[in-house]
Amino acid sequence: MALEWEQLVVDARNPRVLGHWWAEALGWVVVMDEPDEVEIRSSRERLPGILFGVDHEAKIVKNRLHPDFRPEDQEAEVARLLDLGATRVDVGQSGGEPWVVLADPEGNEFCILSSLRSD
């Protein structure tokens, strides 16, 4: 038996807004755009995707699963994402970490790791 990873599902108060935000943040394309569901992928034919579905409950605690991203330039990428509407968040980090914790417009945490190394 084999499994193929189809998508990651993210509950959202406003799937359309959050799905389009992540599409812009990641440079991905929207492959399905419905009022209660939006799916994005790195390209139309490539899996996995991210499916944003409606959930009217408010987010209360830190996510138990979050993505980490490795940029070419951490400082520039953090600034770009903040300009898009991300926010800096404190999830208990000590202060000396080489990553930056951000949250999307609905409060879902993600990390921007240190910059890519050229070695």
Q: Which residues contact 87 (CB under 8 A, 6 or more apart)?
A: 102, 103
Show the domain range for 115.
Answer: 66-119
CATH value at residue 38: 3.30.720.120
Residues 70 and 27 in one domain: no
Statement to judge: residues 9 and 53 lie in one domain: yes
Q: Which helix (H) or strand (E) holds 74?
A: helix 74-84
What is the structure's pLDDT at 59?
82
Give yes or no: residues 76 and 43 share one domain.
no
Per-residue pLDDT tens for 73-105? 999 999 999 999 999 998 888 888 999 999 999
Tell me, yes or no, whether 51 and 72 share the same domain. Answer: no
| CATH code of the domain containing 88 | 3.10.180.10
* Domain-ending residue, one of 12, 32, 57: 57
Is the pTM higher than 0.85? The answer reads yes
Tokens 């940029």 sit on residue: 71
- Which stretches does DSSP call E strand in 2-118? 7-12, 29-34, 37-41, 49-54, 68-69, 87-88, 100-103, 109-112
Q: For the ranges 14-18, 49-53, 58-62, 98-102, which has the lowest average pLDDT?
A: 58-62
pLDDT class for 118, splitting at 50, 70, 90? low
Mean pLDDT to the nearest integer, 64-80: 95
